[in-house]
Amino acid sequence: MDPEKPAVLFTEEVIRRRVAEMARRISSDYAGVEDLLLVGILRGCFIFLADLSRLLTVPRSVDFIAVSSYGRVTTSTGAVRLIMDLRTEISGKHVLVVDDIVDTGYTLQYLINALKARGPASLKTCVLLRKRERLKTNCEIDYLGFDIPDLWVVGYGLDYANRYRTLPYVGSVKT
C-alpha cells in the first residue's frame, strides 16, 4: 500500500525551536568538556544531528554507527544487528548518542550496552522522537525532543520505504 501525503505533526519551525532548546541544554551540560563525541545512528539521524551539532557551543566531533532492527518490515523484530561500526575510539571520551526515534527501545538499549563496554568517560542519549506506548525496554533518554503517538512518522530524516526522508517537517503516513 502506497502511503498518502504525510500529515504534518511538527512543522519545520517547531522542530527548529525544540532542537535549539536541546542544543542549549546539551551545551550547558557539557560546558568545560574538551571534546564531545556525537555518535549518530544512521540513517535517520542525519538531518537532526546536523542541525543539532551546528547549534552546540562546545567543542565536538561526529561519528556514525549503523544498526538495523527492522529489516524490510514496519515493526521491530527485537533482534538488532550492527551494520557499520564507529571509526573513533571512545574509551575515555564523553559520548552523546543521537537518534531520530525510539520505538521499542531495543536498538538504543543495544547500543548503550555495546558502547558502555568500550569505556567512555560518559555516555548519554539524545533522541528527537519517542513512542512511549511502544517501549519494550527501559532505555534512558537524557535529551528528548518530542513524545509522539504510535504512528509511522516520516520527514526530517525518517522514512517510509526510503521515501520522505528529506521533508523539512515530521509527518505521519498510513502504512
- Flag whether pLDDT at 72 surpasses 60: no
Whether residue 103 lies in the annotated active site: yes
Topology (CATH level 3) of domain 7-173: Rossmann fold (3.40.50)
Are 150 and 132 contacting, i.e. CB atoms less than 8 angstroms apart?
A: no
Q: What is the pLDDT of residue 1?
A: 40
pLDDT digits (tens, 9 = 90+) for 7-28: 999 999 999 999 999 999 999 9
pLDDT tens readout for residues 151-164:
999 999 999 988 99
The answer to whether residue 85 scores a pLDDT higher than 80 is: no
pTM of the model: 0.90
Size (the chain), residues: 175
Q: How far, in Å, are 118, 134, 137 from residue 49 at the CA level?
A: 22, 24, 24
Domain ranges of the chain: 7-173
Cis peptide before 43 (omega within 30 of 0): yes
Q: Which entry of 99, 100, 103, 159 is annotated as an active-site residue?
A: 103
Name the phi and psi angles at 97, rounded to 5.
Answer: -80, 125
pLDDT of amino acid 12: 97
The DSSP output letter for 117 is T
